[in-house]
């Protein structure tokens, strides 16, 4: 499969396109993590986007391009929550409709409640993201609505990559980026944008051990999508690693690190307790490598991409009680 790689100017153009509707999120130093690792550690707070997730970037770029091309005639997508919120927000911001979002029956309550705030149609389908994905594709075939992938789309990847562009604009000395990885839209976009600015930047993928699709894909030399994952609190990272992200980024990702559910919960608590940041599992996992093996980052300038904040209050309560 040949996928033309986007260039730096493509990310700059995408950033200009979506800038009126997003937040240029803060990049802040972490004294606690810097001292722990004997490194210069920074946190990219992309969970501060309007929907509580970086996903608005890709959704805005995709829907804006469809509108510019005169190709918007209704869209449908599947989501564990955050991508659906991104599409819903983008459609509202750009005054586009109709939008249909399929979610798994067990999608987090916090995300379903947020989706209900938008003038969209939400449908439940199955217990996994893959079941919702299949239902959404069937809906697209039946109705003619355009299916918007959460990750397997170059326009979406361009939007997600604007996060990497902001990181490198704010901290060009960054030599290690820790990026939560599910379907691969974010890490492929960030890797392409960051390495276009500084080819020496190391991009590290971080995944739950319950869903190591990126790790297995890179090890075996082909994209594994779908992937039959184990249960994980990091629902936004569960499932396969897309073919387009794989072929765009397979030579740009330095390594893939995986972490247990216990280690992910520890990361959530650490951000809450040490940084006063409320971050969902799929975003908090970015600091897990620092907590698990801090010595490997000594002397480096590290950026952890914190991608989402849509976490159920019951989970927060559990994690706090576990650490008392």
CA dihedral 47, 48, 52, 57 (to 10 degrees): -80
The whole-number pLDDT of residue 129 equals 81
> Distance (Å, rounded) from C-alpha 192 to C-alpha 42?
20
The answer as to whether 232 is a domain residue is yes
The whole-number pLDDT of residue 44 equals 98
Please choose, from the candidates 174, 94, 84, 165, the residue with its C-alpha nearest in 3D space to the C-alpha of residue 129. 84
* 157 plus 35 within the same structural domain: yes
* 67 plus 110 within the same structural domain: yes
pLDDT tens digits, one per residue of 156-202 = 999 999 999 999 999 999 999 999 999 999 999 999 999 999 999 99
The answer as to whether 2 is a domain residue is no
The whole-number pLDDT of residue 110 equals 82
pTM across the whole model: 0.96
A 10 A CB-CB count for 24 gives: 12
* Residue 1 reports pLDDT greater than 80: no
CATH number of the domain enclosing 136: 3.40.50.1100
Least confident of 16-25, 106-115, 120-129: 106-115
The answer as to whether 82 is a domain residue is yes
* 178 plus 307 within the same structural domain: yes
- From residue 64, alpha-carbon distances to 131, 155, 177 in Å are 27, 10, 28
> Distance (Å, rounded) from C-alpha 153 to C-alpha 23?
22
Last residue of a domain, one of 96, 115, 147: 147
Mean pLDDT of 18-35: 98
Q: Which domain holds residue 201?
A: 8-54+153-322
pLDDT tens digits, one per residue of 75-112 = 999 987 899 999 999 999 999 999 999 999 888 888 88
Q: Work out the percent of the chain whose per-residue pLDDT is above 90.
A: 91
Residue 134 pLDDT level (bands cut at 50, 70, 90): very high
* Residue 37 reports pLDDT greater than 90: yes
pLDDT tens digits, one per residue of 38-71 = 999 999 999 999 999 999 999 999 999 999 999 9
């Amino acid at each position: 499969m040949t996928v033309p790689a986007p260039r730096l100017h493509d990310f700059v153009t995408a950033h200009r396109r979506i800038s009126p509707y997003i937040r240029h999120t803060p990049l802040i130093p972490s004294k606690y993590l810097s001292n722990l690792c004997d490194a210069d550690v920074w946190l990219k707070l992309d969970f501060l986007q309007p929907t509580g997730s970086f996903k608005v970037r890709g959704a805005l770029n995709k829907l804006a391009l469809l509108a510019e091309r005169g190709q918007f005639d209704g869209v449908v997508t599947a989501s564990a929550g955050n991508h659906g919120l991104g599409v819903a927000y983008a459609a509202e911001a750009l005054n586009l409709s109709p939008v249909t979002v399929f979610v798994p029956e067990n999608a987090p309550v916090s995300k379903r409640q947020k989706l209900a705030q938008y003038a969209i149609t939400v449908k439940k389908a199955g217990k996994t993201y893959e079941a919702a994905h299949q239902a959404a594709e069937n809906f697209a075939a039946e109705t003619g609505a355009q299916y918007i992938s959460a990750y397997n789309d170059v326009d979406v990847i361009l939007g997600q990559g604007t996060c990497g562009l902001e990181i490198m604009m704010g901290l060009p000395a960054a030599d290690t980026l820790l990026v939560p990885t599910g379907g691969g839209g974010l890490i492929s976009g960030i890797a392409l944008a960051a390495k276009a600015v500084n080819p020496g930047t190391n991009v590290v993928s971080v995944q739950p051990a319950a869903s190591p699709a990126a790790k297995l894909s890179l090890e075996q030399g082909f994209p594994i999508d779908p992937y039959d994952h184990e249960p994980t609190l990091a629902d936004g990272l569960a499932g396969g690693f897309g073919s387009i992200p794989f072929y765009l980024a397979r030579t740009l990702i330095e390594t893939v690190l995986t972490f247990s559910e216990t280690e992910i919960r520890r990361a959530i608590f650490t951000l809450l307790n040490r940084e006063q940041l409320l971050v969902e599992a799929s975003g908090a996992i970015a600091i897990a490598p620092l907590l698990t093996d801090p010595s490997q980052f000594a002397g480096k300038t590290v950026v952890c991409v914190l991608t989402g904040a849509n976490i159920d209050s019951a989970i927060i309560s559990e994690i706090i009680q576990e650490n008392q």
